[in-house]
Chain A
């Protein structure tokens, strides 16, 4: 019987710094891994330190690499930050329900990412921009603390100039060289000039950003069930066994992490739930 809790050993192939605390690294997919869907995650394991649920930030069409972008804030992620090729780690996955890309076909795709929240949305960009004829338009609204913390900047600019991505970015605070917006991400929504009835939105970031973004989108006329959010709780086992990632009736690890907003709104609006 296959054990869903047993990791497979994989080798780190490349490692790259993104900002002070954020880094991206690639591993070889373990034997029998198959493919992942945009929005899914892997469990990464460091012997003696522990496991952490990390979303997959690379191209779903790339069968030779699994890419993870990580912010070093916990025990496991801080230890991951110190690893370089060809270090070995444990991996199991992919887990979770991904973004409903099929639901967005023929419509406008609006992605909203706050900080590291761009990592689980980047696979959507890879996929959507590779098949632009399927979407009326692809827009990415990006929020970060500072310009230095904007992820994948070069690639996003390339996608903007070559692949038709509509890109708007804002930061909380910036030095004089920053020529973009300063402020909250919800202020960008109106400027994006979306057609609300035609829009499918995918939002990932801090919980407060999800709530305010959903509110703004609805005010503009985007249907509630066309708003999808990716949530975070402590996903320890990824199989629904451990109970840590529950939100009301959901296990985020297997029922999520992506949800239609109306399915989780009541729980997100309840303090300490």
Chain B
């Protein structure tokens, strides 16, 4: 016989002879024995000495076994204290009463010690099983609390990072569970120094902390590079390389990145593995799908990664709508997917564009009957806005050693122009001059315009008049990609000259290119106008900088910035 741990057994029996006999049997089986001669004594003894198991006579004076069993079960709470009724009862109704009162088993008189030993053993097994279940339940609850607390802390830290962006901008509406991070959903938005807006909706594989862990470095890259003036392509490359390096192979991040430019009236899109986004043109009501053209971030090596973006013209008040797969992958009771078609039916039925989220949520509820917590949606409008300044605190003060009298020249040649974006580097250099920091937005915008004019119209020889309509717009960016990819010769030169002047200083930017130039006089005759799709760059430069001029048949552009010493 397997050795059994001794139990404390309470015997409640009014007949002295039976009590003596039973005590002796149970003691001989190696257990501690407590005795009571009626139900009230049994309850009292139970309260004081917490026996592991009770042998209970049904018929006893003062308080019968049924009532005593009920009280003992109530006192025991969640722990299982098995009660074996001692009975010579034969009617099934009386036996049923024993079970109803909380009894777990019966033992008939006359006692059989072999059966009694077997029953005590079986009840002890149950008792231990219950104790184990309770212990594990408590452990699970403890772990769960621990996990929730960890998530709270992680979320608080993450919110500090994520909310350094501009998700609260008036042009953005979004809907996300507060714990979306732990579903792997990630929504980020920030202004570039030129006032464009970068938006990212990401979806990491997996759930819980593993899904959230990649979000932190991704957000850092997104905000850091956006603030420094990097474009989508460079930011995407950096994100991809970082995730590739830090994530295990089965983890990656589907993502759509947008760059909305009010100045260019355009939206640039990169979609890697996310559901189609939609560009909603308010004038025509048309919804242009923005499909995934790439693998998610964190899969491909740097060499194989494709950072090509699509650019679409966008009018003021047009909207871009992005969503996570939680929307279209919502299942109903029969495992049917909500799907893209139902989403498009919601689009078609939508009468108030501002209530699109609510309509979609309602459709999901109607479809499934309950809400999911991994549904993320974001809608960004192109709003008429004042020139937005970049984040003022992006560059730490570098002390009094501010350079005030210098010049520098750069020449970026074919192979470099194909891949490298020199603007963040140039901007960072210029922002070493403290007096220019307050104009960093205008400075970056002008620099970006002059550089892209020199590259696109000069070196690549693209005709800006192509961009007059949507089709030409697409053609323009197609040509740009193709010509850039095969670029061998050509250059863009950037000359920077900083000089003290009076109480402040002056910056002269001159950008030259190897292109054919253009008819300066004809362009300069146009009125200052920022609303046209083509030829806008020159107007912008003239508005934001001073003394803008073009020479060498348009191949050389010059513009100046001034500042006063602040008191």
Whether both chains belong to one complex is answered with: no
